[in-house]
């Protein structure tokens, strides 16, 4: 499991404490060469209804299972993220989505 910080406040899964209410997420961007070419594939735009986790409706999960398609990332091991901590943040590159994994490091 990986410690996750999320600053994507317009995501339906975002919690007030900058965590994620999901039990797992997927990071996408199979041919990424930088952070802007990655994305949180689990992102869902908040349309006014917040999603909560199954165990605690008031806060997010600090530790998550993170699957990862970014084969060029040094933290990717067998399509799982092995970083101790990652940050997901809004992206300015709308080609790859509205989010990015700020922890991406090229192998």
Res 63: pLDDT: 94
Between CA 75 and CA 84, with CA 80 as vertex, the angle to 5 degrees is: 50
Res 31: pLDDT: 93
Between CA 103 and CA 107, with CA 104 as vertex, the angle to 5 degrees is: 135
Res 92: pLDDT: 83
Res 72: pLDDT: 96
The string of pLDDT tens digits covering residues 20-49 is: 999 999 999 999 999 999 999 999 999 876
Q: Read off the pTM.
A: 0.88
pLDDT along the chain (107 residues), means of 10: 94 93 95 95 84 56 95 98 97 84 97
Q: Report the C-alpha gap between 30 and 28 in whole angstroms.
A: 6
- Residues forming a β-bridge with 65: 24
Nearby residues of 33 by Cβ (< 8 Å), 6 or more positions away: 72, 106
Q: Report the C-alpha gap between 6 and 8 in whole angstroms.
A: 6
Res 94: pLDDT: 74
Res 48: pLDDT: 76
**Cα–Cα distances in angstroms (integers) from residue 25 to residues 44, 49, 88, 101, in the given order:** 11, 19, 11, 11
Residue identified by tokens 């999901």 is 22
> Nearest-CA neighbor of 98 among 52, 25, 44?
44
């Amino acid at each position: 499991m990986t410690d996750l910080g999320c600053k994507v406040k317009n995501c339906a899964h975002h919690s007030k404490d900058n965590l994620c209410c999901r039990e797992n997420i997927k990071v996408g961007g199979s041919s990424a060469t930088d952070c802007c070419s990655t994305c949180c594939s689990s992102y869902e735009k908040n349309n006014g209804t917040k999603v909560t986790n199954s165990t605690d409706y008031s806060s997010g999960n600090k530790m998550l299972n993170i699957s990862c398609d970014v084969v060029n990332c040094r933290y990717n091991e067998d399509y799982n993220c092995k970083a101790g901590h990652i940050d997901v943040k809004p992206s300015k590159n709308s080609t790859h989505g509205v989010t990015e994994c700020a922890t991406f490091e090229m192998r």
